[in-house]
Structure 1
Amino acid sequence: MTESEDVIVKSVFIAAGCNRIVNNVSWGACDLVSFGSQNAVAIFCPKTAQILTTLPGHKAPVNCTHWIPGAKFAFRAKKLESHYLLSGDSDGVIILWGMTLADRKWRLVMQLPQLHKKGVTCITGIMVSLTDTIFASSSSDGAVHLWELILPCSPGGECKLSCFESLSVGSKPMVALSLAELPGNSEHITLAMGGLDNKIHMYWGKRTGKFVRGCELKAHTDWIRSLDFSLPICKPGEANSIMLVSSSQDKGIRIWKMSLLGFSGGEGQETYRKEISLASYIEGPIIVAGSSSYQISLESLLIGHEDWVYSVEWQPPSTRNEGSSYCQPQSILSASMDKAMMIWQPEKKTGIWMNVVTVGELSHSALGFYGGHWSPDGQSILAHGYGGAFHMWRNIGIDTDNWLPQKVPSGHFAPVTDISWGRHGQYILTVSHDQTTRVFAPWKTEASHLDGQSWHEISRPQVHGHDINCVAIIEGKGNQRFVCGADEKVARVFEAPLSFLKTLNRATLQSDIPEDLQMGVQILGANMSALGLSQKPIYVNAVHESPGANGNDSIDTLESIPDAIPVVFTEPPIEDQLAYHTLWPESHKLYGHGNELFSLCCDHGGKLVASSCKAQSQSVAEIWLWEVGSWKTVGRLQSHTLTVTQMEFSRDDTMLLAVSRDRQFSVFSIQRTGDEISSQLVAKQEGHKRIIWSCSWNPFGHDFATGSRDKTVKIWTVVDSKDPWVKQIATLPQFSSSVTAVSWFGIDRQRDHGLVAVGMENGLIELWSITVRRNIDSGGSSASAALAIRLDPTMCHVSPVNRLSWRSREKSEDSRSVQLASCGADHCVRIFEVNLSYN
């Protein structure tokens, strides 16, 4: 929460997708999940399915995160007051973060010495004691570094860090690491490394360093993708053994056993093996660590996945009683690019490892999983996939396993380019370069937690074949509609199906859709075409012909793709449902532009839509006006010579404002006489010294703000006379970065007072209080501006803010509180609640 004397701002909602890279996600002993979302580290709570915060600090995409302690060491974490998180990015930077459990407050503890010259590929660690952690980091520069981190005994203390070993295996970098204490010899650490040479490299050494090569395990025939050591096994006779599981792009999973043979220097070798198993005859390499010797043997080969296995992980130990003792379960979770996660366990009688649980993603846009993770209690599993999405299942069975999908946060996995509030502010529509359009809404519940509502993605109207650049909700009466423009020369019009309207009513706890609207909507949902460019309508009278209309029928194979079944949801939908059952039908295509669409806007009466495209000449840079309903071209406005970056209609719809890359803005007057629409250029002026990225009208008059790459925001007014002209009435003090988004919100009409939200290229957001004073006698105006609040960087974006949009207020609503939405190049959508204490 950020506050100033007059304004208090708190974060209400964050949507963000996961970077599409292995090792990016980590589930901590504190039962929070961390992941990289572009340059930020995002933290989400699995219980509420909400992203709690994002941590700014990295200047490059985050590749990997790792909790200290992780889920594996949750049995040691019960008395800890602070938990820590490591994150590594594609520039080789590793940052240590700290979080106090009591208040969930985060701080940047330190940036590690930058020993890696290229991107960090993996971070893994073990807790040797409550305050001592050993972790290793690998990079595509071929180096692996081992670090010791001494955690403070009290919350206010300082962490002590040292790098005690650096290893280089060769020219082919390592991408998978795992650490473990050697069984029966806790003074020694073993490190398993795997990478692009298809071999597992085993090293051992003391905690002070001097690691030596133990052996190489050659069995996989493709890149090693994941390694994970178990804790010492609790079975009788196995107390001095640990297991290592490895997965590879050869589609196989291998389990290796490292057993303590005995101690050298005595009379013979004392053995701890109590039974002779088949594995004991397959003698593997022996490594000698200090006075102990260990044999590594291949215990089992698991075949079941049909594509690269990106991730394997042992189930975290279950705690025995209240002490620090634990029991390591014989259970492995694997995640693969074949869109499936599997749990493997040995049969009780034969000991043969079998696949006991399979869960997966069935949507047509799925391309597999990059990683799978256990919750600390072992009752939930989480996957992150190619589509930047999370999938979570929880075992709710008592006597037998019953894994059911759970709600998770969702969001775009590429820059979010535009946002638009629903007509009455019930939801927000976002578009992105990830080629999707998404609807986020507050889902109200009778039971009050989080003020009785929490935000979720409730629909994915469009899954397109092009990067989407702009969107505009069509105002006015009738059904919910929007126009969007992508990296193609066509604007597309979409209309809300009946299934979405009913789901929205359920989310907002409204009784039902207005009768006139419900009668008019004959389309229940939409189907995706084979090429993924057009969405065909599914009509109400045809839905009974589709099998399994309740949407819950199981699908025989992962490859089969059924017809989409529009569903009215009674709780927030999960990823599979969003990607396939919430499409909107496309009703029109608007042809005319010569290049990729770049900007769209709709007037407040819902009669006109304006569009522009990327341009480098005056003829291509013209603005097209479309009549809503007939979708005929009713105007082509020429003024600019380069791309028009943003447009907006004045609140009374008599003027259209456009700003451009050519550093100029234009104001057009729009006249309506009956069905005829005419337009005229009122003013054209060079407003800034660099590109003008954004503009916004004052809701109370013909004043507007423009924001530019020259780091300034200027306030202008249209002087109404027989020959209207534009006059500058204020310039805000220079900002710290290029201004990429502005949005004006009216607070008090009598005082002509409002707030201008300013978003910058560095991701920061400021709110400025603007008061316009009009001189009725002279017809002139002046404006005063003051900084109302500068939002805390932890609440803001970490990359350029692409758009800001205030939610329109209903007359009956509390006038002291308003919501502001923002989207950015960091893949995030954010919603803030702004409380106006002086109102």
Structure 2
Amino acid sequence: MTSGYGGGSGVGVKGVFIGAGCNRIVNNVSWGACDLVAFGAQNAVAIFNPKTAQISTTLPGHKAAVNCTQWLPSNKFAFKAKHLDRHYLLSGDVAGAIILWEYSVLEGKWRYVQQVPQLHKKGVTCITGIMVSQTEAVFASTSSDSTVHLWEVVFPSTSGGDCNLLHLDSLCVGVKPMVALSLSELPRSAGYLVLAMGGLDNKIHLYCGERRGKFVRGCELRGHTDWIRSLDFSLPVCTTGEANNVLLVSSSQDRGIRIWKMDLRDSLDSNQSAYRKEKISLASYIEGPVLVAGTNSYQISLESLLIGHEDWVYSVEWQPPSTASSEGIAYCQPQSILSASMDKTMMIWKPEKTSGIWMNVVTVGELSHCALGFYGGHWSPNGDSILAHGYGGSFHLWKNVGTDFENWQPQKVPSGHFAAITDIAWGRSGQYLLSVSHDQTTRIFAPWQNEVSLGDEESWHEISRPQVHGHDINCVAIIQGKGNHRFVSGADEKVARVFEAPLSFLKTLGHAISQKSSFTEDIQVGVQILGANMSALGLSQKPIYVHAEQQTPDRNLNDNLDTFEAIPDAVPVVFTEPPIEDQLAWHTLWPESHKLYGHGNELFALCSDHDGTLVASSCKAQSAAVAEIWLWQVGSWKAVGRLQSHSLTVTQMEFSHDDKFLLAVSRDRQFTVFSIDKTGTDETSYQLVSKQEAHKRIIWACSWNPYGYEFATGSRDKTVKIWTVRKDSSVKQLMTLPQFNSSVTALSWVGLDCKSNDGLLAVGMENGLIELWSLSVKRSEDGGVAADAVAAALVVRLDPLMCHVSSVNRLAWRNRRNEDSSSSIQLASCGVDQCVRVFEVKVK
């Protein structure tokens, strides 16, 4: 995570955790020679370290979703990059922009270098690049505008220097765009490069050119019968002390993989018969066209056709070379190819030692029904790990842990949502963070305090995926329940759903927080449900009971079922270490216990009181009748109130610290305050005490002072206003904070000192940035309830590298256990950029 605390005025902020899913697109992921993985998460470029399974940072700069990334040097050139102290990264987006970034290995810091002059008119779909020397690289980009552009970039010799960028050539490829590219130097043709491109016309096009000259069309390779999705050149292959040939591997939607050999023929004017004789072997190559580069020519032949995948093959990649020198050349590239397919598997292919026939030697994959295929596969720089990214925005990593033989085992990876995150809530005791998203899932993240962790650093992971839903989820509230873990969520349907924590989760949480107290035993008493199952064609998650474990299921019941319904049962598991994607997606569901019917439109906002016994809900609305707020009693699930006051969607609600007031803000630019009185066990009375038009635009957010009756409202008009509820229940404005640079979309107020009424207000904005303001409430000497004034000061503006790159949807301070007096508190945020973030705020 971002190391060290940034900020001034006695407050420091450190990034603790980022959870994010990968954009669901081919070419989005790149594994660099520096052993870091880059991927696009909405408009951000996210970086993660495979060794720690943590996302270290996100890079802001793109104004559209990131489509592709490419490291310079990539994992292919790791053998050249041992002593590099700066690595570079290219990222391309849907709007056609390409950005160059610099990473300093020694400092662990990132720098935005420049945006490549924008020549693409549409989204960039693939970037490929090679290092031609320690400080020079050539890269090519292709786009759905049917053009390919080639660039040379010269990296600075000193840190922070300028990169020199030279546009080499533009190639127009006709009406059918190219979607896959690969570059290589040609063996024994100094200064000549070959560019392979493939796409929607099912052919591979080879272009050849001198490094600073024009690229000319060389030849076409035919054979694939569907779109070409991936191309990768090997490094020049050394056979007799000198490199004479280079191999190209291609994959296609025709499910096939082809290996092409480009063999150096003698110079054009000499007799070639002697050279031909020694090349005849068992595998008599199918000769293809000839590629001419200057005075040299290369005979192209089909070396092998690999058949094994049962669906589109989205990526192929040669294993990176090791540094072992081979006959005077500084690298030795293994004859090994990794392929990834939509059939949910990755395969490693190698030629058999005796016959030379290429065989599939390793197959790994998520073989359950819930994975929907892989968009790409990548080798680690040293070739001992392979990484796939999938349709569900997820990563899958395997490491070869065998010594004498290959033994590929799944490893921990970062995970997160792959669409906008709409709401977050801390567990009632603050042990975990729950998030909901438009990717139709609910996820729980928690610090896993294992013994292996380095120092005191908490390592955060996703530990459960309670809800896998059929609708985009908009809001969530954590409420009281057995074991203190129960939540209600609202989605793009008119129903709120209640989920109960099963025993398997409670035990897993016990391992995660590794408390030596009786915490885990206490909360597990009386929980009879072990986990949950998802019905094949339904949306309800059915409970699996503890006592049902021992019973042998009657398989005859399935005989007459439609095949669609014959999905395997979930096996609720207690995890003693963070679960991987396949386990999360199927074995950590929570059972659904209730549905709350009443709203006329899609649910938009939820909140619960501090006891967790009363829930308020609102839905999207264009009229006063639909915009009413419903109150629900937890337990009996009766609707105990329908509060009418707003004429448009209520965007956020919050109960005051003592649950006497409910505050609601709306798109109609007004806020309302209701007094809430719980008269009996199941009875609640309410009354509208104040309603004001507070801002000039939509009010997106509100938050109460945890120590009093003051509250803040934040609006699209870029202002935050502080209000107080007086003794007569009227509301008075205390102040307006100085205008912000962007719409205010999220607020959260935390109390620091009850006696002095000091607190921090976190402000999240539409541009993704977050600010912390100190608020000090002044009350009258006679101990009055209402505040007379409030003093506000900006204490820290979070570094953009720590913040979101798109609108912040929600901010939430972690519950401080037992009035914890420690000087650090945690703030969670979520946003449209698919990221959940946790910050450590140190109050000095």
Give the TM-score of the pair, scaled to structure 2. Answer: 0.96
Q: Deviations over 1:704-748 (max 9, x none)?
A: 000000000000000112xx2100001000000000000000001
* TM superposition shift of 1:529: 1.0
Match of 2:73 in 1: 69
Q: Which one is further off, 127-136 or 480-489?
A: 127-136
* TM superposition shift of 1:5: 2.2
Match of 1:91 in 2: 95
Answering whether residue 790 of structure 2 is matched by residue 783 of structure 1, we say yes
Q: Deviations over 1:747-801 (max 9, x none)?
A: 0111111000000000000001111111256865211111011001111000000
Answering whether residue 118 of structure 2 is matched by residue 111 of structure 1, we say no
CA distance in 1, matches of 2:67, 2:364: 26
* Change over 3 Å in CA distance of 1:527–1:267 after alignment to 2: closer
Answering whether residue 342 of structure 2 is matched by residue 340 of structure 1, we say no
CA distance in 2, matches of 1:41, 1:270: 53
- Give the SS at the match of 1:73: helix
Q: Gaps spanning 5+ residues in structure 1: where? A: 548-557
Query: Does the CA contact (< 8 Å) of 1:173 and 1:196 recur in 2?
Result: yes
CA distance in 2, matches of 1:833, 1:671: 36
Match of 2:514 in 1: 509
Query: Does the CA contact (< 8 Å) of 2:480 and 2:634 recur in 1?
Result: no
Answering whether residue 702 of structure 2 is matched by residue 695 of structure 1, we say yes
CA distance in 1, matches of 2:482, 2:820: 21
Match of 2:766 in 1: 761
Answering whether residue 29 of structure 2 is matched by residue 52 of structure 1, we say no
Q: Deviations over 1:500-526 (max 9, x none)?
A: 000000000124545453221000000
What is the correspondence of 1:149-298 to structure 2 with a 5 Å cutoff? 149-236=153-240, 239-266=243-270, 271=275, 274-298=278-302
Match of 1:553 in 2: none
Q: What amino acid does structure 2 have at the position aligned with 1:412? A: H
* TM superposition shift of 1:476: 7.4
What is the correspondence of 1:345-364 to structure 2 with a 5 Å cutoff? 345-364=350-369
* TM superposition shift of 1:361: 1.3
- Give the SS at the match of 1:562: coil
Q: What amino acid does structure 2 have at the position aligned with 1:697? A: W
Match of 1:386 in 2: 391
Out of 563, 566, 570, the residue aligned to residue 569 of structure 2 is 563
* Change over 3 Å in CA distance of 1:360–1:213 after alignment to 2: same
* Change over 3 Å in CA distance of 1:559–1:4 after alignment to 2: farther
CA distance in 2, matches of 1:736, 1:339: 45
Out of 647, 670, 673, the residue aligned to residue 641 of structure 1 is 647
Match of 2:559 in 1: none
- Give the SS at the match of 1:793: coil
Q: What amino acid does structure 1 have at the position aligned with 2:547? A: N
* TM superposition shift of 1:269: 6.9
Query: Does the CA contact (< 8 Å) of 1:363 and 1:561 recur in 2?
Result: no
Match of 1:602 in 2: 608
Give the TM-score of the pair, scaled to structure 1. Answer: 0.96
Answering whether residue 493 of structure 2 is matched by residue 470 of structure 1, we say no
* Alignment RMSD: 1.8
* Change over 3 Å in CA distance of 1:678–1:637 after alignment to 2: same
Out of 715, 735, 742, the residue aligned to residue 737 of structure 1 is 742
Query: Does the CA contact (< 8 Å) of 1:610 and 1:624 recur in 2?
Result: yes
Q: Which one is further off, 423-432 or 536-545?
A: 536-545
* TM superposition shift of 1:184: 1.5
What is the correspondence of 1:253-652 to structure 2 with a 5 Å cutoff? 253-266=257-270, 271=275, 274-320=278-324, 325-449=330-454, 451-475=456-480, 478-511=483-516, 512-545=518-551, 561-652=567-658
Out of 799, 808, 814, the residue aligned to residue 801 of structure 1 is 808
Match of 2:688 in 1: 681
CA distance in 2, matches of 1:207, 1:516: 70
Match of 1:130 in 2: 134
Q: What amino acid does structure 2 have at the position aligned with 1:502? A: K
- Give the SS at the match of 2:78: helix
CA distance in 1, matches of 2:60, 2:341: 31
Query: Does the CA contact (< 8 Å) of 2:775 and 2:792 recur in 1?
Result: yes
Query: Does the CA contact (< 8 Å) of 1:60 and 1:91 recur in 2?
Result: yes
CA distance in 2, matches of 1:811, 1:482: 22
- Give the SS at the match of 1:520: coil
Match of 2:841 in 1: 834
Query: Does the CA contact (< 8 Å) of 1:240 and 1:272 recur in 2?
Result: no
- Give the SS at the match of 1:673: coil
CA distance in 1, matches of 2:508, 2:520: 14
Q: Deviations over 1:554-593 (max 9, x none)?
A: xxxx998421000000100000000000000001110111
Query: Does the CA contact (< 8 Å) of 1:279 and 1:298 recur in 2?
Result: no
Answering whether residue 832 of structure 2 is matched by residue 825 of structure 1, we say yes
Query: Does the CA contact (< 8 Å) of 1:697 and 1:704 recur in 2?
Result: yes
Report sequence identity in percent: 73
* Change over 3 Å in CA distance of 1:546–1:691 after alignment to 2: farther
Q: Which one is further off, 227-236 or 111-120?
A: 227-236
Query: Does the CA contact (< 8 Å) of 2:7 and 2:13 recur in 1?
Result: yes
- Give the SS at the match of 2:238: coil
- Give the SS at the match of 2:508: helix
Q: What amino acid does structure 2 have at the position aligned with 1:715? A: I
How many pairs align? 826
Q: What amino acid does structure 2 have at the position aligned with 1:685? A: Q
Query: Does the CA contact (< 8 Å) of 1:262 and 1:269 recur in 2?
Result: no
Match of 1:816 in 2: 823
Query: Does the CA contact (< 8 Å) of 1:84 and 1:96 recur in 2?
Result: yes
Query: Does the CA contact (< 8 Å) of 1:476 and 1:604 recur in 2?
Result: no
What is the correspondence of 1:713-732 to structure 2 with a 5 Å cutoff? 713-721=720-728, 724-732=729-737
Query: Does the CA contact (< 8 Å) of 1:661 and 1:693 recur in 2?
Result: yes
- Give the SS at the match of 1:541: helix
Query: Does the CA contact (< 8 Å) of 1:280 and 1:297 recur in 2?
Result: no
Q: What amino acid does structure 2 have at the position aligned with 1:204? A: C
Q: Deviations over 1:418-468 (max 9, x none)?
A: 000001110000000000000000000123415253000000000000000
Q: Deviations over 1:307-362 (max 9, x none)?
A: 11100000000111699711111100000011110001111111111111111113
Q: Which one is further off, 44-53 or 231-240?
A: 231-240
CA distance in 1, matches of 2:671, 2:584: 40
Q: Deviations over 1:171-219 (max 9, x none)?
A: 1111000001111213210010001111100110100122111111111
Q: What amino acid does structure 2 have at the position aligned with 1:505? A: G
Query: Does the CA contact (< 8 Å) of 1:691 and 1:709 recur in 2?
Result: yes
CA distance in 1, matches of 2:539, 2:822: 42
CA distance in 1, matches of 2:321, 2:567: 38
CA distance in 2, matches of 1:606, 1:167: 63
* TM superposition shift of 1:279: 4.7
